[in-house]
Amino acid sequence: MRGPLIAGVVGAVIMASATVAVLSDRTAAQSPFGDPNAEPAPFNPQMGALMSMLIQPRHTKLGLAGNAENWPLAGYMLKELRQGFAVVAKAVPRWKGLPVPDLVDAAVSQPLTLLDYAIKLKYRRQFDEAYEGLTKGCNACHATTDHAFVVIKVPDASSFPDQEFAPQR
Ligand code: HEC
């Protein structure tokens, strides 16, 4: 057993020194990912990252909660999604010249209001209709912003295996 173990350790040491050699060669020619000695830049996520962080998961969770008729969770996710859009519109007021607050308002304000009523009334059929309207709003804005290929749909499964969507008693 000891032979292969020592060989492994020696191999790892050789590889580590090779990596260091590559890194020190690199200091002159800079990495395409930037300068390791630079000041840390403030985190400034752009539209695609904001959609993935603040909008898509909240849209999914809202749909899953409504589907399970878990109204307290649906109400919470609706609030979170609304705040997500507010953050996006403030962080990126213009996207390639287009006014983001106006686009968001046109695309999702009405369905968000209808969802709010449906959740307060615990009215499943109105929830489903308004959620479809919201999802169409996502896609309408994607079409307006040259991203018609980013197609949002009503979730058909949970992508959150560690979260319970069923109502709790
Ligand atoms: C302001 C109009 C607008 C609205 C409203 C909007 N989006 Fe987007 N979305 C964009 C733009 C613009 C991009 C492309 C950003 C980029 O890559 O530069 C995008 C990209 C995305 C992406 C791709 C990001 C990735 O990296 O995978 C997802 C997912 C997404 N949106 C989800 C949604 C969902 C869900 C909704 C509705 C709840 C929504 N969007 C509503 C403008 C919008």
Tell me the pLDDT tens digit for each residue of 53-92. 999 999 999 999 999 999 999 999 999 999 999 999 999 9
Q: Which of 90, 131, 138 to mutate to test the pocket of ligand 1 (most atoms within 8 A of CB)?
A: 138
Q: In the predicted model, is pLDDT for residue 31 greater than 70?
A: yes
Best CA proximity match to 118, nearest among 106, 133, 129: 129
- Asked if 137 and 105 touch (Cβ cutoff 8 Å), the reply is no
Instruction: Annotate the chain with three-state secondary structure.
Output: CHHHHHHHHHHHHHHHHHHHHHHHHHCCCCECCECCCCCCCCCCCCHHHHHHHHHHHHHHHHHHHHHCCCHHHHHHHHHHHHHHHHHHHHHCCEECCEEHHHHHHHHHHHHHHHHHHHHHCCCHHHHHHHHHHHHHHHHHHHHHCCCCCCCCCCCCCCCCCCCCCCCCC
Task: Give the relative orientation of helices 100-120 and 56-67 as an angle to the nearest 10 degrees.
Answer: 20
pTM, full prediction: 0.86
The CB-side HSE value for 82 (13 A sphere, CA atoms) comes to 14
- Percent of all residues in the chain with a pLDDT value above 90, rounded to a whole number: 81
Question: Which residue has tokens 């969507």?
Answer: 165
C-alpha closest to that of 58 among 83, 86, 77, 75: 77
Report pLDDT for 20: 57
Backbone angles phi, psi at 46, to 5 degrees: -95, 180
CA 85 to ligand 1: nearest atom: 5
Tokens 């800079």, located at residue: 30
Considering only CA atoms, which residue is closest to atom 14 of ligand 1?
48
For ligand 1, the distance from its centroid to the CA atom of residue 96, given in whole angstroms, is 14
- pLDDT band at 5; cut points 50, 70, 90: low
For ligand 1, atom 30, which residue shows the shortest CA distance? 51
What is the 138 CA–ligand 1 centroid distance (Å)? 7
Distance 152 CA to ligand 1 centre (A): 9
